[in-house]
């Protein structure tokens, strides 16, 4: 029989921004009335990598930098699921940056939440690739990179210091992917209060495009130019940066690959035998769970 688990309590430091991300995700799933058994939450490596333990959904802890391609595999295998990938900026913008770029291009319908604290908190505070506040001219801007790829369809940035807006953005991202409109990317500024307590700095750095009546989230060129203009003043835009006006081609239903014509043996029995070796058996030996 399959085993279930009770969601554990978060192990993050008191005041960590990741609590705000978790609350926004809980709120979005509840407000959209998505059954928990229809959600697959995959996490990367780092402080953010335990989030899949706290929601009560299907969960998976991916390899370092590989949460996005793993989530793409889940979304392609079962398009009925609401697939959410969550990871930190070190996981997504360093070792995982190549996968992120191609996720924008492939536009598979899933939601990726990148929790950006500009530090490697789990390994004691080294600077991450997204060192915007540190004044690093070579810092990686995930939303800006996504805007540069014409296949992208949903790009937003939230901030845990503004929970109401973050909850709206999370709902919008989930709706986008659930409607099969493509890859929804939500970066969340989520400060690390232990190694880089930047809450006061972000309050003066972020510019809310949702509050700008002249801004249009359907205009990619405007979104890109606005981000560049703000960067010159050492500021970052938050809000719904870009959402494609029309439905893109559903990349969640790829064409069947061409066959080599070679005979294919029935491998199902062999796969089941291999999986059986890793079954978790009860102490009595009566039952097993995979």
Three-state secondary-structure class, residue 8: coil
Its pTM surpasses 0.75: yes
Query: Do 10 and 22 contact (CB within 8 A), yes or no?
Result: yes
Q: What is the longest distance spanned by two Cα atoms in the chain? A: 67
Q: Residue 289 has what pLDDT?
A: 44
Ordered domains of the chain (ranges, CATH): 18-243 (3.40.50.970)
Is residue 136 pLDDT above 50, yes or no? yes
Is residue 128 pLDDT above 80, yes or no? no
Q: Residue 11 has what pLDDT?
A: 87
Average pLDDT, the chain: 87
Confidence of residue 21 (pLDDT cuts 50, 70, 90): very high
Q: Residue 25 has what pLDDT?
A: 97
Is residue 288 pLDDT above 50, yes or no? no
- Reference 102, options 151, 42, 154; nearest CA is 151
What is the pLDDT averaged over residues 110-133?
Answer: 82
Q: In this structure, what are the phi and psi dihedrals at residue 157, rounded to the nearest 5 degrees?
A: -135, 130
What is the pLDDT averaged over residues 179-188?
Answer: 96
Query: Do 187 and 120 contact (CB within 8 A), yes or no?
Result: no
Q: Residue 262 has what pLDDT?
A: 58
Q: Residue 240 has what pLDDT?
A: 98
What is the pLDDT averaged over residues 251-276?
Answer: 67
What is the pLDDT averaged over residues 166-175?
Answer: 98
The rounded distance, in Å, linking the Cα atoms of 131 and 88 is 13
Half-sphere exposure for 211 (CA within 13 Å, toward CB): 7
Confidence of residue 151 (pLDDT cuts 50, 70, 90): very high
The string of pLDDT tens digits covering residues 71-90 is: 999 999 999 999 999 999 88
Confidence of residue 1 (pLDDT cuts 50, 70, 90): very low
Say which residue, 103 or 133, is predicted with more confidence: 103
Q: Residue 287 has what pLDDT?
A: 47
The CA–CA distances, whole Å, from 272 to 275, 277, 280, 290 equal 5, 9, 14, 11
What is the pLDDT averaged over residues 176-201?
Answer: 92
Q: Residue 110 has what pLDDT?
A: 97
Q: Residue 273 has what pLDDT?
A: 82
Which DSSP state fits 55? S
Sign of the alpha-carbon dihedral angle for 62, 65, 70, 72: positive
- Reference 110, options 164, 204, 196, 179; nearest CA is 179
Polymer length of the chain: 290
The string of pLDDT tens digits covering residues 23-72 is: 999 999 999 999 999 999 999 888 888 899 999 899 898 888 899 999 99
The string of pLDDT tens digits covering residues 202-254 is: 989 999 999 999 999 999 999 999 999 999 999 999 999 999 987 655 555 55
Q: Residue 144 has what pLDDT?
A: 95
């Amino acid at each position: 029989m399959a085993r279930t688990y009770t969601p554990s309590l978060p192990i993050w430091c008191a005041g960590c921004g990741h609590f705000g991300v978790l609350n926004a995700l809980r709120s979005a799933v509840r407000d959209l009335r998505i059954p928990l058994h229809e959600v697959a939450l995959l996490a990367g490596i780092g402080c953010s990598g335990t989030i899949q333990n706290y929601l009560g959904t299907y969960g998976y802890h991916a390899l370092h930098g590989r949460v996005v391609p793993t989530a793409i595999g889940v979304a392609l295998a079962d398009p009925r699921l609401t697939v959410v990938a969550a990871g930190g900026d070190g996981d997504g913008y360093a070792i995982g940056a190549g996968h992120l770029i191609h996720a924008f291009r492939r536009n598979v319908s899933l939601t990726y939440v990148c929790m950006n604290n500009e530090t490697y908190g789990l390994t004691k505070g080294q600077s991450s690739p997204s060192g915007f506040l540190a004044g690093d001219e070579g810092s990686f801007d995930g939303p800006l990179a996504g805007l540069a790829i014409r296949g992208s369809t949903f790009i937003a940035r939230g901030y845990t210091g503004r929970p109401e807006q973050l909850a709206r953005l999370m709902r919008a991202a989930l709706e986008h992917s659930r409607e099969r409109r493509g890859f929804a990317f939500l970066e969340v500024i989520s400060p690390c209060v232990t190694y880089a307590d930047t809450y006061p700095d972000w309050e003066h750095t972020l510019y809310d495009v949702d509050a700008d009546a002249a801004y249009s989230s359907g205009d990619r060129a405007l979104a890109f130019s606005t981000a560049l203009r703000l960067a010159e003043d050492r500021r970052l835009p938050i809000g719904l940066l870009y959402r494609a006006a029309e439905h893109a081609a559903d990349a969640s239903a790829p064409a069947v690959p061409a066959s080599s014509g070679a005979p294919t043996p029935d491998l199902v029995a062999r796969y089941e035998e291999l999986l059986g070796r890793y079954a978790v058996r009860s102490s009595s030996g009566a039952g097993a769970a995979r």
